[in-house]
Structure 1
Amino acid sequence: MFQPQIRIPATYMRGGTSKGVFFKLDDLPEPARVPGAARDALLLRVIGSPDPYGKHTDGMGGATSSTSKTVILSKSSQPEHDVDYLFGQVAIDKPFIDWSGNCGNLTAAVGSFAISNGLVEASRIPRDGLCTVRIWQANIGKTIIAHVPITSGQVQETGDFELDGVTFPAAEVLIDFMDPADASGAMFPTGNLVDTLEVPGVGSFPATFINAGIPTIFLNAEDIGYNGTELQEAINESPEALARFETIRAYGAVKMGLISDISEAANRQHTPKVAYVAPAKAYVSSSGKDVTTADIDLLVRALSMGKLHHAMMGTAAVAIGTAAAIPGTLVNLAAGGGKLDAVRFGHPSGTLRVGAAAEQQNGDWVVTKASMSRSARVLMEGWVRVPGDCF
Structure 2
Amino acid sequence: MAFAPQIQIPATYMRGGTSKGVFFNLTDLPLAAQQPGAYRDAMLLRVIGSPDPYAKHTDGMGGATSSTSKAVIVSKSKRRGYDVDYLFGQVSIDKPYIDYSGNCGNLTAAVGAFAVNNGLVDSLRIPNNGEVVVRIWQVNIGKAINVHVPITNGVVQETGNFDLDGVTFPAAEVKVEFMDPADGEGDMFPTGNLVDDLDVPEFGRLKATMINAGIPTIFVNAADIGYTGTELQDDINSDPVALARFESLRAYGALKMGLIKQLSEAAARQHTPKIAFVAPPRAYTSSSGKAIGIDDMDMLVRALSMGKLHHAMMGTAAVAIATAAAIPGTLVNEAAGGVDRQSVVFGHPSGTLSVGAEALHMHGKWTATKAVMSRSARILMEGRVHIPAPQI
| Match in the other structure for 1:188 | 189
Give 1:390 shift.
Answer: 4.3
| Match in the other structure for 2:264 | 263
2:217 match: secondary structure? strand
Which 5+ residue runs of structure 1 have no aligned equivalent?
A: none
Match for 1:48: what amino acid? G
Paired residues for 1:47-58 under 5 Å: 47-58=48-59
* 1:250–1:262 CA contact under 8 A, matched in 2: yes
Match for 2:91: what amino acid? V
| Match in the other structure for 2:15 | 14
Matched, 1:227 2:228: yes
Of the structure 1 ranges 174-183 and 234-243, higher mean CA displacement relative to structure 2 is found in: 174-183
Q: After superposition, what is the alpha-carbon deviation per residue over 1:217-261, rounded to whole angstroms, capped at 9, x for unaligned?
A: 000000000000000000000000000000000000000000011
2:386 and 2:356 map into 1 onto residues whose CA distance is 41
1:202 and 1:323 map into 2 onto residues whose CA distance is 23
Q: After superposition, what is the alpha-carbon deviation per residue over 1:304-351, rounded to whole angstroms, capped at 9, x for unaligned?
A: 000000000000000000000000000000000121110000000000
1:270 match: secondary structure? coil
Matched, 1:319 2:284: no
Which of structure 1's runs of 4+ aligned residues deviate more than 3 A? none
Matched, 1:375 2:376: yes
1:359 and 1:389 map into 2 onto residues whose CA distance is 48
1:122 and 1:340 map into 2 onto residues whose CA distance is 39
Match for 2:32: what amino acid? P
Q: After superposition, what is the alpha-carbon deviation per residue over 1:162-216, rounded to whole angstroms, capped at 9, x for unaligned?
A: 0000000000000000000123121000000000000124311000000000000
1:285 and 1:389 map into 2 onto residues whose CA distance is 42
Matched, 1:286 2:284: no
* 2:282–2:294 CA contact under 8 A, matched in 1: yes
* 2:47–2:385 CA contact under 8 A, matched in 1: yes
1:120 and 1:339 map into 2 onto residues whose CA distance is 39
* 1:302–1:308 CA contact under 8 A, matched in 2: yes
| Match in the other structure for 1:121 | 122
Matched, 1:342 2:350: no
Which 5+ residue runs of structure 2 have no aligned equivalent?
A: none
| Match in the other structure for 1:300 | 301
Q: After superposition, what is the alpha-carbon deviation per residue over 1:249-289, rounded to whole angstroms, capped at 9, x for unaligned?
A: 00000000000111000000000000000000000000000
* 2:86–2:136 CA contact under 8 A, matched in 1: yes
Match for 2:174: what amino acid? V
Of the structure 1 ranges 192-201 and 305-314, higher mean CA displacement relative to structure 2 is found in: 192-201
| Match in the other structure for 2:164 | 163
| Match in the other structure for 1:333 | 334
Give 1:360 shift.
Answer: 1.1
* 1:69–1:87 CA contact under 8 A, matched in 2: yes
Give 1:388 shift.
Answer: 2.0
2:77 and 2:288 map into 1 onto residues whose CA distance is 39
Q: After superposition, what is the alpha-carbon deviation per residue over 1:91-125, rounded to whole angstroms, capped at 9, x for unaligned?
A: 00000000000000000000000001000000110
Give 1:362 shift.
Answer: 1.4
